[in-house]
Amino acid sequence: MLGNNLPAANEVIDVYRSNNIKRMRLYDPNQAALQALRNSGIELILGVPNSDLQGLATNSESARQWVQRNVLSFWPSVKIKYIAVGNEVRPVGDSTSWMAQYVLPAIQNVYQAIRAQGLHDQIKVSTSIDMSLLGNSFPPSQGSFRGDVRSYLDPIIGYLVYAGAPLLTNVYPYFSYRDNPVDISLPYAIFTSPNVVAWDGPYTYQNLFDAMLDAVHAAIDNTGIGFVEVVVSESGWPSDGDFGATYDNARIYLDNLIRHVNGGTPRRPWKPTETYLFAMFDENQKNPELEKHFGLFFPNKQKKYSFGFGAERRREFFANEFNATVVPLLKSDI
């Protein structure tokens, strides 16, 4: 919502419908957006803003009221699929680090409020992380979380195993390419490499997205806690504003990503990768300049890119809408 020229919520729903976009991510429980979603058939990731974590963690009644106000008041006419309790909280060396102690208690209180209504099988409660929590990401099979974040993440993973909920993860090959274009080729980053680029035992990688995502799969597996699915809760490529951020690079990446995720990854070939593209609209009030240019649509509701979504691509397209957070800076060892 960080733009002064964006369409009204009901108009946004019309854009989703006309483009056959089936799912949405909201970064906070914006009431106008939730009202507009009623009876739309659009499935939703509903965000708990980081600013709400402490209150929900320390007061279970606050969590119950949050769920009543933002979930039960709209369910089932709004098809809430996941609740993302916090976005990109980094437990060490970051402005969000003080919030880390509240993430799991907030998740648990929201989960208990959902469970009390018998909705814990329909609405899964999780959190969204970024790739900076990985200490090693190459080769992907050696993916591991940083030692200094394990005391934060391991209990969350344990909860996810118990609740049967996925870990939401924001995956951006763009930032890895921008920060290391000597070692990462543009074709590898935008799905146009003609050949295998990386070998990892029985697995081969022709694109960076798969390698990054499989590093997360392996990092979870390597904790030994249990099996957890990964949902890609953000991925995108900016069309302007920094190195490698061009219209053509963004168009090629996004078009290929939509096509690619139906086939899973080398470590998870049996299951399409549920993926949400960041973001629905360009936002002219974000900074730095790069952050203004992640949209797949212009604020006037016209497509920025010519490719299609949904049924004509033989799969669903999901978009992040009303974004109130900046995309992460990512590092990759590859």
CA dist., res. 86 & res. 84, Å (int): 6
pLDDT, one tens digit per residue, over 143-165 is 999 999 999 999 999 999 999 99
CATH number of 9-319: 3.20.20.80
Q: DSSP states of 188-231 as a string?
A: HHTT--SS--EEETTEEESSHHHHHHHHHHHHHHHHTS----EE
CA dist., res. 67 & res. 57, Å (int): 13
Burial label for 302, CB within 10 Å (0-12, 13-18, 19+), is exposed
CB-based contact 82:46 (threshold 8 Å):
yes
CB-based contact 11:48 (threshold 8 Å):
no
Please report where in the chains the tokens 């949904």 appear, as a residue.
310
- Beta-strand relationship, 144-145 and 79-87: unpaired
Q: DSSP states of 241-261 as a string?
A: SSTT--HHHHHHHHHHHHHHG
pLDDT, one tens digit per residue, over 199-250 is 999 999 999 999 999 999 999 999 999 999 999 999 999 999 999 999 999 9
312 noted as active-site residue? no
316 noted as active-site residue? no
Catalytic residue selected from 61, 229, 234, 283: 234
> Predicted confidence band at 318 (pLDDT cuts at 50, 70, 90)?
low
Catalytic residue selected from 11, 43, 61, 88: 88
Which residues have a Cβ under 8 Å from the Cβ of 301 and sit 6 or more positions away? 7, 11, 15
Three-state secondary structure call for residue 133: helix
- Give the pLDDT of residue 320: 64
Return the closest-CA partner of residue 288 out of 229, 334, 319, 242. 242
CB atoms within 10 A of CB 308: 14
pLDDT, one tens digit per residue, over 56-94 is 999 999 999 999 999 999 999 999 999 999 999 999 999
> Poorest-confidence range of 171-175, 231-235, 262-266?
262-266
Ranges of each domain in the chain: 9-319
What's the pTM? 0.92
CB-based contact 36:9 (threshold 8 Å):
yes
- Give the pLDDT of residue 308: 76
User: Is pLDDT of 317 > 80?
Assistant: no
| Token code pair at residue 224 | 């030994």
Tell me 68's DSSP state.
Answer: I
In this structure, which amino acid lies at residue 40?
A: S
CB-based contact 236:162 (threshold 8 Å):
no
